[in-house]
Amino acid sequence: MRLQREHNDFIRFLKDEKFIQWKLFPNDELRAYWEDFLEKFPDERKNFELAEEHFRHINLSSYKLPEEKKQEAIRRLEHSLARYARRQTLRRFTYAAAACAAALVLSLLYIQKSTDWLRDNENISAGYIVGSELESKDILFITGGKTASFQENVDI
């Protein structure tokens, strides 16, 4: 059992995240880390070198897409992006048109209500007597198109 364990000791390096990161994306910090590790544990150098050798044989991305499939995927992606852009433009235009239509309807309703109110007020003033007290304490009555002025209170 001990012999098999010693034979597979390099596997723990292959499972180590820092080892994998160093092999995929080498940098000075990780290089210094592993140099320091090997100085502290020189008996691990054989396992370390064995792990490096096995790592070189691992084919990380062996799958390659044929060129015609790549071109088809690119064409579909470009078509999808163009369709999305058209939809976004149409959606923005629709929102703007809806806002303009709402503003137009509200304006027309406001104008109609204002003209109805003015028409109603004209009808009221022709049939009613309106009085107002002037600053000189005169009373002024306006009815229809006639105006009457009184100097003191009057009973009607």
CA gap 38, 42 in Å, rounded: 5
Q: In this predicted model, what pLDDT tens digit does every residue of 34-79 receive, in sequence order? A: 999 999 999 999 999 998 888 888 766 656 778 888 899 889 989 9
CA gap 125, 136 in Å, rounded: 24
- What's the confidence (pLDDT) of residue 141? 63
Find the length of the chain. Answer: 156
CA gap 95, 89 in Å, rounded: 10
CB 22 within 8 A of CB 30: yes
- What's the confidence (pLDDT) of residue 144? 63
- pLDDT band at residue 113, thresholds of 50, 70 and 90? confident
Residue 84 has pLDDT above 80, yes or no: yes
Question: What SS3 class is residue 147?
Answer: strand
CB 142 within 8 A of CB 130: yes
Q: What does the mean pLDDT of the chain come to?
A: 80
Phi, psi of 143 (to 5 degrees): -140, 130
CA gap 156, 37 in Å, rounded: 115
Residue 125 has pLDDT above 60, yes or no: no
- What's the confidence (pLDDT) of residue 1? 36
pTM above 0.95, yes or no: no
133 versus 1: the higher-pLDDT residue is: 133
- What's the confidence (pLDDT) of residue 89? 96
